[in-house]
Structure 1
Amino acid sequence: MSDKNYLLSYDIGSTAIKLILFDQELNPVYQAQKAVKNYEAAGFQYQKAEDWWQLIKELTLEMLKESEIKAAAINAITSTGQMEDCLLLDDQGEPLTEVLLYSDSRAKKEFQFLVDKYSQAKLNQMTANQFDPLMSVNKYLWLQENRPEAFAKHQYLILGAKDYLNFKLTGKNITDYTNASTTGFLDIKEMELNQSFISDLNFDKEILPKLKAAETVIGSLKESAAAELNLKAGIKVVNGSGDVGASTLGAGALKIGDIYSYLGTTAWLAMPSDSISENKNLFSLSSTDGENYIIAGAILNAGQAYDWFLKKMLDYKELNNQVYAEVENKLAALDTKENQSIFIPYLNGERSPLKVNGSNGLFARIGSATDSWQLLAAVLEGVAFSLKHNLLEMTGSSNLFNSERQINLIGGGSKSKIWPQLLANILQCELNVLDLEVAAPSLGAAMLAQKALNKIASYQELRANFKVVKSYRAQAEYEAHYQAKFEDYLQLVESIF
């Protein structure tokens, strides 16, 4: 094994940090993860960069101890992670603030300031998205107002989790186009930092991150970081991408028109595109190379809604594989066509394809014969209807829904016994569950490294790496039922929200 070279990848997620070591053929040879601590105070949601680095060190040292791989055999590092963060560092690269997460909504006042200054329509145009309080530029202004001492000292603004890791590894503050897309700082049409914000708001351009394609070697592992990680100095460090960009590659959506879906606690659909979406309730992000785009429809309530019903309505104290198996056996025995109840899954509001604030989940079409299992089935259907609503908005045509359309499915929901088939029936497509040995973001980060290191000329060369575990075709006998129910769902959504 000593004559081989290996690629070390990190994924800094919202709940865990994953380390995966890949060989030259992108086969995982070692993987581990550690839970990352989330903090909440006064409604603020944040993590700590110090926690990230400590976990990175622990994972790396354990990998070197537990695997047969020697540090000298690792020739590149790549990463991915949660997007839309906000973190200030001092001139020595030490954190001055906590990491304000993408989900942190503390900057409502600053958001309104920008809306009053520019107008919502102008901000939407500037960012090519629905400008909202979660974007990092609002949080940057919040820190300026509420943490003046830290703001006065800061020399680096970090906009993504993997960007902080790369800074620790190389001393360079660089972000990628995909990560920058939803921060408010990117002029996505020009693929450069938003000059209006920089000028009008007196931002110091030297403090902001530089923009580079994800498939770029941005530097080499510096001596101090190498010593802490017990790695060799000089290892090439690849920029990597925010998790949406990495996931798109890692889910096999490699060309314009490919579509994939992630089904987990939250869910989304995304597809490479050659144009920005006109629908500002969807997300238009840059592709990893900054040359095209990724259109995404993201929903806040998917597996989260499923688990909510099991815990709160069916009184399951603990959820595990055995519980899910029992529940899904009962659901599989239901006569779906007899269930008229509808669930709108906006338990925690919604982001796409329309903005909904607060707790707005609801059941409708309930009768005296409706039981708890029919309501649970409606929850799973409601998530699928929400995804179909997004897909319809993404493509702009109901002609999308035919048996020829193929969508790759990833995430924990893909392992369900009933949800993939239900999703195929409602989306009216062929749904392919991929045989991924690792999570899609980590695989995507490794693919980016292959491109950066000139191992491949095009991602299409890796298409054979994506093998299908199982395909679910839309069942014709459910088409009329679910089409009518989806139209009812849309009517309810449009009349209420």
Structure 2
Amino acid sequence: MDAVMAFDLGTTHLKWVVVEEASGLRLWEGRDNVSAVQRGLASEQDPDHIWRTIQTALNEAKNYGHIARVAFSSAMHSFVVVDAGGRPLTKSWTWMDKRGQDAARRLRRQGESVRLHHLSGVPLHAMSPLVKWLSIKDSLPPQSRPVSLKDYIVYQMTGRWATDYTTASSSGFLGLDNRWLPEALALAALDPEQLPALVSMTERIGDRKGLFDVVVGASDGATAHLHLNIPSDGTVGVLAMGTSGALRTTQRTPADNPELFSYSLGPGEGYLVGSAFSNVGNLLAWLGHTLGGSIEQLIDEGLNALYQGRPLPLALPIGLENVRHGGGKTWRGRG
């Protein structure tokens, strides 16, 4: 029986599920990303370690049905530089990486921040892959190219460079008109051919061995909305909680607000609009460890207190960005 395998390339965890068309969920599994490193301004993952983990998971998944399709979601703003042969020249910088902050400050001083936000929908920030590229481009060999972690994994599977609009929109290189932004390319000294082909999140590409189709997928923020079938009229917001958190809505037009992110969902599909905050996952793990109880219990108790008008405690946890819970732990479930 055919099955679909889906991977989520998270900031601190790699997760996957196998769903069989007839019998439903067969497997869910996840692992702490032991390749994730935070040191100084750097926050990065090893893309090849993640690729090897995915290969192992694919091999083990054969026990749960014939894998006909493999799909992806991924954290936003990841950044990998590869050479002309597709080999990584850097690790995968996560959204938490701050090495681009000097480049971001320089662009703000030059008055570029308002213009770039107006054209791309993405505020100028150190986590932007455009800014990360600008911070190191002068030290890179010719024909280097910036890609996302998901782009790199899809390339390893298929031999084709392709990115969906939601991932491209989080890079700072995509315009709100769903085309690579000439102004960003000029700043980066890049040709459009050095960036992946823009495709729908439902685009299917055959893998190198002809065993299954790879569904390019989308950013985690987009998939969190789309699977809930949220209307695109801006009337419903979604609070997403992972390593970081975000409050976003979907609407037909981008936001006219310099503080908000407007991510394209693709031509004619509208925009994912909102903003993010950091350390939700670490905060919940810390609270659970300190107060006892599961994350689900903590959320339920907090929501009940809000509904009943009871006061909530104010907590100021310090240094959570360097806290790691799990130590390489693997968790698993079977349907």
TM-score with structure 1 setting the length: 0.57
**Structure 2 residue 145 is matched with structure 1 residue 167:** no
Indicate how the Cα distance of structure 1 residues 41 and 294 shifts in structure 2: closer, same or farther if over 3 A, else same.
same
Check whether the contact 2:130–2:172 (CA below 8 A) recurs between aligned residues.
Answer: yes
Deviates more, 1:201-210 or 1:248-257: 248-257
Per the alignment, residue 201 of structure 2 pairs with: 214
**Counterpart mapping for 1:468-479 below 5 A:** 474-475=307-308, 478=309
Per the alignment, residue 52 of structure 1 pairs with: 50
Per the alignment, residue 280 of structure 1 pairs with: 258
Per the alignment, residue 117 of structure 2 pairs with: 124
**For residues 115-163 of structure 1, what are the alpha-carbon distances to aligned partners after superposition, in whole Å with 9 as ceiling and x for unaligned?**
3444322122122232212211111122213xx2xx215544212x222
Partner of 1:114: helix, strand, or coil?
helix
Unaligned runs of 5+ in 1: 224-232, 311-317, 326-411, 426-473, 486-497
**Per-residue deviation at 1:288?**
5.1
Per the alignment, residue 301 of structure 2 pairs with: 418
**Structure 2 residue 189 is matched with structure 1 residue 202:** yes
Check whether the contact 2:7–2:17 (CA below 8 A) recurs between aligned residues.
Answer: yes
**Structure 2 residue 212 is matched with structure 1 residue 235:** yes
Per the alignment, residue 230 of structure 2 pairs with: 253
**For residues 146-196 of structure 1, what are the alpha-carbon distances to aligned partners after superposition, in whole Å with 9 as ceiling and x for unaligned?**
xx2xx215544212x2221111111111111111222110111x1111111
**Per-residue deviation at 1:77?**
1.4
**Structure 2 residue 170 is matched with structure 1 residue 182:** yes
Per the alignment, residue 178 of structure 2 pairs with: 191
Larger proportion of helix: 1
Per the alignment, residue 443 of structure 1 pairs with: none
**For residues 267-316 of structure 1, what are the alpha-carbon distances to aligned partners after superposition, in whole Å with 9 as ceiling and x for unaligned?**
322221112112221221112565201112322254544665x5xxxxxx
Per the alignment, residue 457 of structure 1 pairs with: none
Distance across 1 between alignment mates of 2:52 and 2:280: 31
**Per-residue deviation at 1:417?**
3.7
Q: Which amino acid aligns with 2:217?
A: G
Distance across 2 between alignment mates of 1:40 and 1:266: 15
Check whether the contact 2:158–2:214 (CA below 8 A) recurs between aligned residues.
Answer: yes
Check whether the contact 1:269–1:297 (CA below 8 A) recurs between aligned residues.
Answer: yes
Distance across 2 between alignment mates of 1:14 and 1:103: 9
Indicate how the Cα distance of structure 1 residues 235 and 200 shifts in structure 2: closer, same or farther if over 3 A, else same.
same
1:5 to 2, 7, 10: 2
**For residues 193-235 of structure 1, what are the alpha-carbon distances to aligned partners after superposition, in whole Å with 9 as ceiling and x for unaligned?**
1111223542132211221121222x21002xxxxxxxxx252
Percent identity between the two aligned chains? 20
1:319 to 289, 297, 315: 289
Distance across 1 between alignment mates of 2:27 and 2:283: 33
Q: Which amino acid aligns with 1:48?
A: D
Check whether the contact 1:81–1:241 (CA below 8 A) recurs between aligned residues.
Answer: yes
Check whether the contact 2:230–2:250 (CA below 8 A) recurs between aligned residues.
Answer: yes
**Counterpart mapping for 1:49-448 below 5 A:** 49-64=47-62, 67-69=63-65, 73-145=66-138, 148=139, 151-159=140-148, 161-188=149-176, 190-217=177-204, 219-223=205-209, 233-256=210-233, 257-287=235-265, 291-302=269-280, 304-305=282-283, 319=289, 323-324=292-293, 412-413=295-296, 416-422=299-305, 425=306
Distance across 2 between alignment mates of 1:23 and 1:288: 28
Distance across 2 between alignment mates of 1:152 and 1:175: 23
Partner of 1:222: helix, strand, or coil?
coil
Distance across 1 between alignment mates of 2:67 and 2:144: 31
**Per-residue deviation at 1:258?**
3.1
Partner of 1:120: helix, strand, or coil?
helix
Q: Which amino acid aligns with 2:141?
A: A
Indicate how the Cα distance of structure 1 residues 11 and 26 shifts in structure 2: closer, same or farther if over 3 A, else same.
farther
**Counterpart mapping for 1:451-490 below 5 A:** 474-475=307-308, 478=309
Check whether the contact 1:185–1:197 (CA below 8 A) recurs between aligned residues.
Answer: yes
**For residues 326-349 of structure 1, what are the alpha-carbon distances to aligned partners after superposition, in whole Å with 9 as ceiling and x for unaligned?**
xxxxxxxxxxxxxxxxxxxxxxxx
Aligned residues: 310
Check whether the contact 1:198–1:205 (CA below 8 A) recurs between aligned residues.
Answer: yes
Check whether the contact 2:11–2:243 (CA below 8 A) recurs between aligned residues.
Answer: no
Indicate how the Cα distance of structure 1 residues 266 and 101 shifts in structure 2: closer, same or farther if over 3 A, else same.
closer
Unaligned runs of 5+ in 2: 313-335
**For residues 362-410 of structure 1, what are the alpha-carbon distances to aligned partners after superposition, in whole Å with 9 as ceiling and x for unaligned?**
xxxxxxxxxxxxxxxxxxxxxxxxxxxxxxxxxxxxxxxxxxxxxxxxx
